[in-house]
Amino acid sequence: MNAARRVEPLTGPVEDYLKAIYELERGSAVANTSEIAQRLEIAPASVSGMIKRLSDQGLLAYEPYKGVRLTGEGRRAALRTLRRHRVIEAYLSIALGYAWDRVHDEAEQLEHAASDELIDRMALAIGEPLVDPHGAPIPSREGTIDEREYHSLADVAAGYSARVVRVSDDDPRMLRYLAELSIIPGAEVTLVSREPFGGPITVSISEVETVIGPSLAAQVLVEPLPHADQPAY
Amino acid sequence: MNAARRVEPLTGPVEDYLKAIYELERGSAVANTSEIAQRLEIAPASVSGMIKRLSDQGLLAYEPYKGVRLTGEGRRAALRTLRRHRVIEAYLSIALGYAWDRVHDEAEQLEHAASDELIDRMALAIGEPLVDPHGAPIPSREGTIDEREYHSLADVAAGYSARVVRVSDDDPRMLRYLAELSIIPGAEVTLVSREPFGGPITVSISEVETVIGPSLAAQVLVEPLPHADQPAY
DNA sequence: CATAGAAATTAGGATAACCTAAATTCTTGT
DNA sequence: ACAAGAATTTAGGTTATCCTAATTTCTATG
């Protein structure tokens, strides 16, 4: 029963660190200094310093040279920021007509300035959506989040179909390209064929065939659709 | 033909200084160190330092011990921030149902984080209003602003009527009190009587009489309404 | 299993924005 | 016209966040 209720609000940079660490942890259990540095576009030495402070503040567990993990408190703070970010993205898209490749950068700024009241009003105004415009799940006000893991389009076997659930959100050019191909959350995609040795993948979306590279396909998360044979992967 | 287009965006604190100086200048031609310090709730010594930097950056004209004035560039920056602030206030109130005593503080944070695109979309979504919820004029995208000056309710002579055009916006408790009395922009107020020597003022708003102090009345700006005799003041 | 190269940390600095205390300049009343 | 008090500035510090360069630790390969 420690975790004295924080009085000082977290600064913008601190929120960014926690968010980055949360997402890196999901991929590999611990977040390394260099991964964090790369994601935040900051020198690794700066990350070492910040990590030490955050660990002193009880927001993360840190063993030098072995990476960091969020504590319960750090995780709550990260999810609070993630909720802000994704509610803002959804609001900008639904209520203000933003293009889906523009919402990320704007939300990146606003998430540090918006009050809880604002986030709640925004969420209410657009019907409390469960996902943001890229299909990423929005944490609840209470700090719970849908942590289901999905396969990517790169894992779908030839002849199988899948529904796009989520695409990676931070590269505007990629998002515009995906939108052109109608590869957006909710779309049904059938995998027509794949070339071996990491070659291109041919997919069909509403009767139109397109060829995409495997690294792009890896950024598109899908859920399997029913198929005569089993299993989908 | 100098004024090299600024590359670095201004920081939040710098925007706050410029906004404060703009408003102080309107009352007295120059803004003094202590006035700025008081308005920003910062030590005067800190203001001296900041003023020097802003003056080096060409945002304001500064003569030690004599106060500061905005340069053209400083004024443009101040109006840009003021537009952000007031568009946000109006949007929160109209589109998100914020109470009018809550919009100021929220806008104070968001004004430093919102992009031009966001401000423009917000303004468009609520029909490009000309004033914020407190009646303050919203600068245009091009940086022009309605600088008309108004008398306050404290200056209205007994027997005359006036329309409320604007109230001071930064004290939530005062705003709630004014709203209770229906002293809000657009309201018609008739000055029933006034006690001498800075005594209370009796006003009538939609047939209801209320007594208010002169310092509160001074925060309420009005425009005269037609009256049998002339002039209104 | 030793060591080269990668990863991480420490050391030493910079900048922005604040502070308090001390010194300076201005203003005003007699 | 001058001295007291008010206003302002200067001096010296602090904190948060970043940097580069140097050093230390880890790890994977021959």
pLDDT in tens, A112-122: 999 999 999 99
Vertex A18 angle, CA A40 and A150, to 5°? 85
Dist. CA B72–CA B6, nearest whole Å: 13
What residues of chain A, 3 to 42, have a C-beta less than 8 Å from chain B? Answer: none
Dist. CA B38–CA B60, nearest whole Å: 19
Q: What is the dihedral of CA A165, A166, A172, A177, to 10 degrees?
A: -40
- Is A95:A124 a contact under the CB 8 Å cutoff? no
User: CB-based burial of residue A123 (10 Å sphere; 0-12 exposed, 13-18 middle, 19+ buried)?
Assistant: buried
- The gap from C-alpha A177 to its chain's centroid, in whole angstroms, comes to 18
Please state the rounded mean pLDDT for residues B4-30: 89
pLDDT in tens, A56-71: 999 999 999 999 999 9
pLDDT in tens, A149-197: 999 999 999 999 999 999 999 899 999 999 999 999 999 999 999 998 8
When CB atoms are compared, the residue of A97, A105, A109 closest to B121 is: A97
| Model confidence, pTM | 0.92
pLDDT grade for B2, boundaries at 50, 70 and 90 = very low
For residue B121, pLDDT over 50 is answered with yes
pLDDT exceeding 70 applies to what percent of chain A? 94
Instruction: Give me the CA A65–C1' D27 separation in Å, rounded.
Output: 12
- Closest by CA to A147, choosing from A136, A132, A134, is A136
Chain A 57-116, CB < 7 Å to strand D:
65
- Of residues B138 and B3, more confidence is placed in B138
- In this predicted structure, what is the pLDDT of residue A4? 53
- Is B102:A117 a contact under the CB 8 Å cutoff? yes
When CB atoms are compared, the residue of A102, A112, A125 closest to B96 is: A125
For residue A2, pLDDT over 90 is answered with no
For residue B45, pLDDT over 90 is answered with yes
Confirm or reject contact between B112 and chain A (CB < 8 A): yes
- Is B18:B70 a contact under the CB 8 Å cutoff? yes
- Of residues A145 and A28, more confidence is placed in A145
When CB atoms are compared, the residue of A106, A112, A125 closest to B118 is: A106
* Closest chain A CA to residue B99: A117
Contacts of A107 in chain B (CB under 8 A): none
Instruction: Give me the CA B65–C1' D2 separation in Å, rounded.
Output: 21
Instruction: Give me the CA B45–C1' D12 separation in Å, rounded.
Output: 13
